[in-house]
Amino acid sequence: MAFPHRPDAPELPDFSMLKRLARDQLIYLLEQLPGKKDLFIEADLMSPLDRIANVSILKHEVDKLYKVEKKPAFSSSEQLCFLVRPRIKNMRYIASLVNADKVAGRTRKYKVIFSPQKFYACEMVLEEEGVYGDVSCDEWAFSLLPLDVDLLSMELPEFFRDYFLEGDQRWINTLAQALHLLSTLYGPFPNCYGIGRCAKMSYELWKRLEEEEDGETKGRRPEIGHIFLLDRDMDFVTALCSQVVYEGLVDDTFRIKCGSVDFGPEVTSSDKSLKVLLNAEDKVFNEIRNEHFSNVFGFLSQKARNLQAQYDRRRGMDIKQMKNFVSQELKGLKQEHRLLSLHIGACESIMKKKTKQDFQELIKTEHALLEGFNIRESTNYIEEHIDRQVSPIESLRLMCLLSITENGLIPKDYRSLKTQYLQSYGPEHLLTFSNLRRAGLLTEQAPGDTLTAVESKVSKLVTDKAAGKITDAFSSLAKRSNFRAISKKLNLIPRVDGEYDLKVPRDMAYVFSGAYVPLSCRIIEQVLERRGWQGLDEVVRLLNCSELAFTDMTKDDKASSESLRLILVVFLGGCTFSEISALRFLGREKGYRFIFLTTAVTNSARLMEAMSEVKA
């Protein structure tokens, strides 16, 4: 069963323009260095590049392609071009190459193309290494990659760590630029909502950009009626849960990278791995991506039977019909067949892996944590999980989930779990814990409720724009999660009368087997319903965002009713496929369509890895 869109669902804007823009700009930049050249591409940029330009286009401009790696490169070209993220380690790599050439008495041309933008710190490093004069720098403002018809990704996974852990705000400018680009291409957004410090800063910076370049978007008809900006730290819980909708599960199990996944031999049932694009164009996938996993198998087998029936039709055919069948339908059927067998393979593989890890137990514990009962038992489960060295990332995730849902661990558990973890996985995770504490993901319960006074003071301090930003010590205090209270307020745990029918979901909770409505999605739903934050004051206070929730509505008569049902949701710090599925479901229920813009698609493992310190 696939969810059909309501007949009145609005059309999505065409985002392929973003791809063309990026491609043309890249080609233009490469042409700026005329003649034969070798191109060094940073590994992180390979996949995004692959999605917008195939190699043959690049071959026009480029002789050989290399990956930016740690080892020295052997290129004989007279011109070297580097396509990199603005990272200091890349600068050092380039500088070492240039300096090696200098020692060897070789002169070549070097060009560095930064994507999505250049940072002054990078130029600084080039200068410190003494090669600033030897290289020319350029920017490739490729910040929005359409991964799917309704999903735009900035492909900046480091956004999460940089902002939410290190307090580094440099990506905010990039984000504001991206929003500015969207509004120039798709018209202004008449209704803006947002919550979170990063959301607010991005929004303000974006608006300032619009003001500086005023006139351009004025008079344009808005194509997208609403924009909602949301910080990831508003809702860590949802991101930390195991995913059980198909697309999320595939991401958790196989890791979807830039919209495609590598299915290994165990899935393809051959000896080769296969790279598969997962998007709306894959008809089979499109029908199951938002489904709870328990439905997927049944759906696929039904589909297989239908397919067989269609194949079987040819038995009774005469020559002419057969000819028709072969020329017109067979190809489609074969394609479907191929996809079907792939997804069936993936399902099998997921089932195998999950049963091995006692997936049921795990989910049960998670649900218990979300609902807040049997805490002791859950804590013991986590401890055993650590003791048995099941998986360092999983254990960490459960600890964080426990901490956030319980407003921090009680001191005894905090110590013992950490001790156990260090014994299992090594002492360097002392740093991981320090990171998690700073980000508010794994904290110790403070005795009593004396904190609230300090807290309110801090949140005032936080919102004072001039004094601006808070010191580390305060930030962890301010980040009390209050999950339980919020959950009650927003009714995140649905009351279950009997079995929750996952085949015919009644609310967004279906993405977590009916146990929990994703907080982030619930916030969005509520704000859209109320057209603002009225009546949500208590929730906003509990989210520690008293001054960080904003609404900005412009009266725009030009906005068509169709555009007013299109909503762009911007996740700062990443969103999960479960959230995407949940909002797609909400859209179908209410006649909206959601478009997602995320700094990167994330899941619990990526979140934890971003916080982990591993030995180099």
Partner 1 sequence: MDCYTANWNPLGDSAFYRKYELYSMDWDLKEELRDCLVAAAPYGGPIALLRNPWRKEKPASARPVLEIYSASGVPLASLLWKSGPVVSLGWSAEEELLCVQEDGVVLVYGLHGDFRRHFSMGNEVLQNRVLDARIFHTEFGSGVAILTGAHRFTLSANVGDLKLRRMPEVPGLQSAPSCWTALCQDRVAHILLAVGPDLYLLDHAACSAVTPPGLAPGVSSFLQMAVSFTYRHLALFTDTGYIWMGTASLKEKLCEFNCNIRAPPKQMVWCSRPRSKEKAVVVAWERRLMVVGDAPESIQFVLDEDSYLVPELDGVRVFSRSTHEFLHEVPVASEEIFKIASMAPGALLLEAQKEYEKESQKADEYLREIQELGQLPQAVQQCIEAAGHEHWPDMQKSLLRAASFGKCFLDRFPPDSFVRMCQDLRVLNAVRDYHIGIPLTYSQYKQLTIQVLLDRLVLRRLYPLAIQICEYLRLPEVQGVSRILAHWACYKVQQKDVSDEDVARAINQKLGDTPGVSYSDIAARAYGCGRTELAIKLLEYEPRSGEQVPLLLKMKRSKLALSKAIESGDTDLVFTVLLHLKNELNRGDFFMTLRNQPMALSLYRQFCKHQELETLKDLYNQDDNHQELGSFHIRASYAAEERIEGRVAALQTAADAFYKAKNEFAAKATEDQMRLLRLQRRLEDELGGRFLDLSLHDTVTTLILSGQNKRAEQLARDFRIPDKRLWWLKLTALADLEDWEELEKFSKSKKSPIGYLPFVEICMKQHNKYEAKKYASRVGPEQKVKALLLVGDVAQAADVAIEHRNEAEMSLVLSHCTGATDGATADKIQRARAQAQKK
Q: Among 29, 97, 131, 172, which residue interacts with partner 1 (rule: CB under 8 A)?
A: 172
Interface of this chain with partner 1, residues 26 to 85, rule: CB under 8 A: none
Choices 262-270, 276-284, 411-419, 445-453 (CB under 8 A): range interacting with partner 1: 411-419
Which of 549, 595, 551 is closest to 569 using CA atoms? 595
Please, what is the minimum distance in Å from the beta carbon of residue 165 to partner 1? 10
Based on the shown chain and the rule CB under 8 A, indicate whether residue 499 belongs to the binding site for partner 1.
no
DSSP 122-191: HHHHHHHTT-TTTEEEEE-----EEEETTEEE---THHHIIIIIT---HHHHHHHHHHHHHHHHH---SE
Under the criterion CB under 8 A, does residue 496 sit at the interface with partner 1?
no
**Of 31, 166, 266, 281, which one interacts with partner 1 (CB under 8 A)?**
166
Give the helix ranges, DSSP H, for 313-428.
319-324, 330-356, 359-371, 375-387, 392-405, 411-425
Angstrom distances, CA of residue 168 to CA of 116, 286, 458, 464: 17, 37, 20, 19
Cβ 70 to partner 1, closest distance in Å? 15
Q: How far apart are CA 136 and CA 132, in angstroms?
A: 8
Which DSSP symbol is given to 503? S
We find the least distance from the C-beta atom of residue 411 to partner 1, in angstroms, to be 10
89 near partner 1, judged by CB under 8 A: yes
Q: Does 415 bind partner 1 (CB under 8 A)?
A: yes
- 3-state SS of 507-551 is CHHHHHCCCCCCHHHHHHHHHHHHCCCCCCHHHHHHCCCCCCEEE
CA distance 324 to 353: 43
Note whether 434 binds partner 1 by CB under 8 A. Answer: yes
Q: Taking the complex as a whole, how short is the minimal distance between the CB of residue 13 and partner 1, in angstroms?
A: 27
361 binds partner 1 (CB under 8 A): no
Amino acid at 305: R
Q: Does 466 bind partner 1 (CB under 8 A)?
A: yes
Residue 312 engages partner 1 in binding (rule: CB under 8 A): no
Neighbours of 513 (CB within 10 A): 18
The footprint of partner 1 on this chain (CB under 8 A) covers a number of residues equal to 53
| Total Cβ atoms within 10 A of residue 71 | 6
Alpha carbons 111 and 134: distance in angstroms, whole number: 9
Task: Say whether residue 389 binds partner 1 (CB under 8 A).
Answer: yes
Contact between 205 and partner 1 by CB under 8 A: the answer reads yes
Among 275, 388, 457, 503, binds partner 1 (CB under 8 A): 388
Q: Does the footprint of partner 1 cover residue 214 (CB under 8 A)?
A: yes
Q: Least distance (Å) from partner 1 to the CB of residue 162?
A: 7
Residue 382 is a binding residue for partner 1 (CB under 8 A): no
Cα distance between residue 94 and residue 72, in whole Å: 10
Strands 260-263 and 226-231: unpaired
Q: Do the beta carbons of residue 103 and residue 131 sit within 8 Å?
A: no
The pairing of strands 135-139 and 145-148 is unpaired
Q: Which of 36, 67, 208, 531 touches partner 1 (CB under 8 A)?
A: 208
Which of 125, 570, 607, 608 contacts partner 1 by CB under 8 A? 125
- Choose, by CB under 8 A, the member of 47, 217, 424, 463 that binds partner 1: 424
According to CB under 8 A, which one of 75, 77, 169, 482 is a site residue for partner 1?
169
| Closer of 465 and 531 to partner 1 (Cβ) | 465
Please tell me whether residue 377 binds partner 1 under the rule CB under 8 A. Answer: no
554: Cβ–Cβ under 8 A, 6 or more apart, which residues? Answer: 188, 190, 191
Task: Choose between 208 and 503: whose C-beta lies nearer to partner 1.
Answer: 208
Q: Measured from the CB of residue 112, what is the shortest distance to partner 1 in angstroms? A: 16
CB of 92 to partner 1, least distance (A): 8
Separation of CA 471 from chain center: 28
Nearest approach in angstroms of CB 540 to partner 1 is 23
Please choose, from the candidates 258, 276, 256, 279, the residue with its C-alpha nearest in 3D space to the C-alpha of residue 267: 276
Choices 66-74, 399-407, 413-421, 578-586 (CB under 8 A): range interacting with partner 1: 413-421
Residues 575-614 that bind partner 1 (CB under 8 A): 613
Residue 211 or 312 with smaller CB distance to partner 1: 211
Rounded to an integer, what distance in angstroms lies between the CA atom of residue 534 and that of residue 491? 17
Nearest to 202 by CA among 167, 230, 236: 230
The residues that bridge with 137 in the sheet, in sequence order, are 112
Closest of 440, 480, 438 to residue 459, by C-alpha = 480
Enumerate residues 228-287 that contact partner 1 by CB under 8 A: none
Of 108-116, 301-309, 321-329, 379-387, which segment contacts partner 1 by CB under 8 A? Answer: 379-387
When asked if residue 119 is in the footprint of partner 1 (CB under 8 A), the reply is yes
Close Cβ partners of 266 (under 8 Å, ≥ 6 residues apart): 345, 349, 352
Note whether 176 binds partner 1 by CB under 8 A.
yes
Nearer to partner 1, 94 or 528 (CB): 94
**430 binding partner 1? (CB under 8 A):** yes
What is the closest distance, in whole angstroms, from the C-beta atom of residue 353 to partner 1 in the complex?
15
Least separation in angstroms between residue 133's CB and partner 1 is 18
Within 468-487, the residues that bind partner 1 by CB under 8 A are 468-472
Query: What tokens were used for 8?
Result: 């009145």
| 157 close to 126: Cβ distance less than 8 angstroms | no
> Which chain residues interact with partner 1 by CB under 8 A?
88-89, 119-121, 124-125, 128, 162, 166-170, 172-173, 176, 201, 204-205, 208, 211-212, 214, 383-384, 387-389, 415, 418-420, 422-428, 430-431, 434, 465-466, 468-472, 613, 615-616
